[in-house]
Chain A
Amino acid sequence: MEIADRAVYDETGQHAEDATLTALVDQYAATLYRVAFSVLRNASDAEDAVQETFLRVLRHRGTLGEIRDHRVWLIRIVWNIVLDRKRRAKTRPETDDVAELARVLPAGGLNAEQRAAAVQYHAHVLACVDQLPTKEREVLVLSAFEELSSVEISSVLGITESSVRSRLFRARNLMAGLLQHSRSIR
């Protein structure tokens, strides 16, 4: 029976795709969440972005076998999703970022006053990051992930590796200038 054989084959293939998808969730959901949180800076938004990423993968699970590097592919998907969400979302007040940082940052043996000062400092740094040009900001945010090489960053952003390095150099210079300027004002 040819049809029965095909049905068995389809069932087997479907189970294999499901198993691959489950393995991808187990392996990369946390990484994708951190990438999403670094852009959105909101826990629930970041989790929504991760969910949407895997839903897109589910829709195209027939092509999973053609993907060489699943990690970079998934990071690219979540990166596009979070950028799209960030673009569509209204600008949130800085106080929201401070409150979210105070909630998620580890205490690290600091007392309440030191912790509040650390949160304020980090929020200020993030505000300076937001002032950077888009291209430089994207490279700077992705370079903070230790597990991403410059080649992987270039494939996520769709640019060359030399562009990644030059943009990162400019971003660091701009950030240093912004932070120094704010210190001199204080």
Chain B
Amino acid sequence: MNFSTQNNASIHYGASATGEETLRLIAGLPAPKLLEERVKANLNSAARTARILRWPAPLVRSQGWMHSIAARSAAAAAIVFVVAGGSWGVYSRVQPALPTNVILMPLRTVPSNGFSSAGAIRTPQTLNGSVVAHPSAVMPRQNKPASKSANQTTAKSRQSRRAVTDARE
């Protein structure tokens, strides 16, 4: 095809001005000798190696058994059956993990007085009784009523003593 007749550019510039002369020269270079023979030899060796792994002809050609609709349908059904069966087997064996409902309990210290909880998880607090936080903080409270009573006794004894002395006088 001569593009120079179709384009104004090539008419205006000419083939040498646009470098097409060089491209045509390269496009017209002869092919190396015996190129066809080398290509054929390569194809023969490639075809020989490819035939080793070829399927048997009855399986490959258009008249082969795999090209019948019944065989294709059976093969497709077998594949679906195997996949579905495998999936169901896995699903039926693996149970979904239940949501965990665990409450963390505080660790109970074993009482040092020789008694144990006997493995009871929860014991009512009434059995343990009231717990004294600190003995020193409790002691003054216990002394106060004692001192009051002591004071009362001393006052009473003073009064009785006064009454006795008054009676003697």
User: Residues on A close to B: CB < 8 A?
Assistant: 3, 6-7, 9-10, 13, 18, 21-22, 25-26, 29-30, 33-35, 37-38, 41, 43, 47, 50-51, 54-55, 58, 104-105, 121-122, 125-126, 128-129, 140-141, 143-146, 148-150, 165, 168-169, 171-173, 175-176, 179-180
Contacts and interface: CB of A to CB of B under 8 A. Distances in A.
6 contacts: A6-B58, A25-B43, A34-B28, A35-B27, A50-B35, A168-B9
Contacts of B17: 176, 179-180
Contact of B43 (A10, A54, A171): A54
Contacts of B42: 51, 54-55
Interface of B: 1-3, 6-10, 13, 17-32, 35-36, 38-40, 42-43, 46-47, 50, 57-58, 60-61, 63-64
Contacts of B46: 55, 58
Contact of A176 (B6, B18, B47): B18
B3 A51 contact: no
Given A38-B26, A172-B7, A176-B18, A47 B32 contact: yes
Contacts of B21: 125
B46 to A, nearest CB: 6
Nearest to B19: A125
A3 B28 CA distance: 51
A145 B30 CA distance: 13
Contacts of A37: 26, 29
B29 A58 contact: no
7 cross-chain pairs, A with B, having the tightest CB-CB distances, nearest first: A144-B23, A30-B31, A172-B9, A125-B19, A125-B22, A33-B31, A144-B27
Contact of B25 (A6, A33, A51, A122): A122
A6 B1 contact: no
Given A22-B40, A146-B1, A34 B27 contact: yes
Contacts of B36: 25-26, 29-30
Given A104-B29, A165-B6, A176-B13, A148 B1 contact: yes
Contact of B23 (A38, A47, A148): A38
A150 B42 CA distance: 33
A149 B1 contact: yes
Contacts of B2: 146
Contact of A25 (B20, B39, B58, B60): B39
Output the residue of B1, B10, B19, B36 with the most chain A CB within 10 A: B19
B27 A47 contact: no
A43 B30 CA distance: 11
Contact of A175 (B18, B40, B47): B18
Nearest to B1: A149
